[in-house]
Amino acid sequence: MPFHYFEDFRPGEAVELGSRAVTEAEIIAFATEYDPQSFHTDPEAARRSSFGGLVASGWQSCGIFMRLLVDGLLKESSALASPGVDEIRWLKPVRPGDVLKGRLTVLEAKPSRSKPDRGLVRHACELSNQRGEVVMTMRTLALFSRRPA
Amino acid sequence: MPFHYFEDFRPGEAVELGSRAVTEAEIIAFATEYDPQSFHTDPEAARRSSFGGLVASGWQSCGIFMRLLVDGLLKESSALASPGVDEIRWLKPVRPGDVLKGRLTVLEAKPSRSKPDRGLVRHACELSNQRGEVVMTMRTLALFSRRPA
């Protein structure tokens, strides 16, 4: 387990997460529930929009990144919770058929002052498509347990 | 349409969005797809976690806020796209049975310099539960068309 405890996160280190293909059906299903704007739910209306075709909700890009992060790192880690996320930027549209991959770089790892059993890690996150274009960036915060003595 | 065009957003104005109940089945369905950590997917494991019971993925709280925002404002507006979101903070757990409501305050409305047909609006967003506790805050960015002359 290369990233199990707080102590395993060293600033500057990068982790390649897996990849995931995005289908039109998934884009429409997500948006129908959480972001029913017509350029996310209706291929015909999307064609007439400034996007020129169906695009995924930015929140779905966040969800896809999160899934890659859970499968690729958090699932086997001591992750406790996340206080939040900073500066999400949706840089390029995500379209049906895109294959997205995740990458994360450790920015900072800081022991908690109030709770000595844990520490806060800041990560810079990138989601890229099959052409190598970065479609989303964000900075996540997450609490991990410290390694038992 | 009180908030159709860019010009309709005046700093300091607040908008109450609707509310939505959250079920255990929805929490598990979302997390199974996008955030399969056991405190989001497995009631029994969640009981043994620091949360003491099943809690919604923070990304689902974002999705629920977005749905309230689309239904309560964006759907009838000239919203074009969003460049991103700043400073999401997940302040309290969201649990099955919670009823969440959204509120948004206009922070800033700035005409685009490069594209005279649109402007950027920044909103401060809050999601609260049935006890009036704020469970999430964030600041959104969104582009709206300017009112035709």
pLDDT band at B94; cut points 50, 70, 90: very high
CA torsion through residues B117, B111, B12, A141, sign = positive
Q: State pLDDT tens for residues A69-94.
A: 999 999 989 999 999 999 999 999 99
Angle at B19 between CA A24 and CA A32, to 5 degrees: 10
For residue A74, give the nearest of B37, B64, B89 by CB distance.
B37
pTM (2 d.p.): 0.96
> Chain A closest CA to B67's CA: distance in Å?
5
Interface residue A25 vs chain B (CB under 8 A): no
Rounded to 5 degrees, what angle do the CA atoms A67, B122, B57 make?
25
Report, as an integer, the average pLDDT of B14-21: 96
Residue A57 to chain B, least CA–CA distance (Å)? 10
* pLDDT tens profile B100-116: 999 999 999 999 999 99
Question: ipTM > 0.90?
Answer: yes
CB contacts, 8 Å: A81 with chain B: 50-51, 90
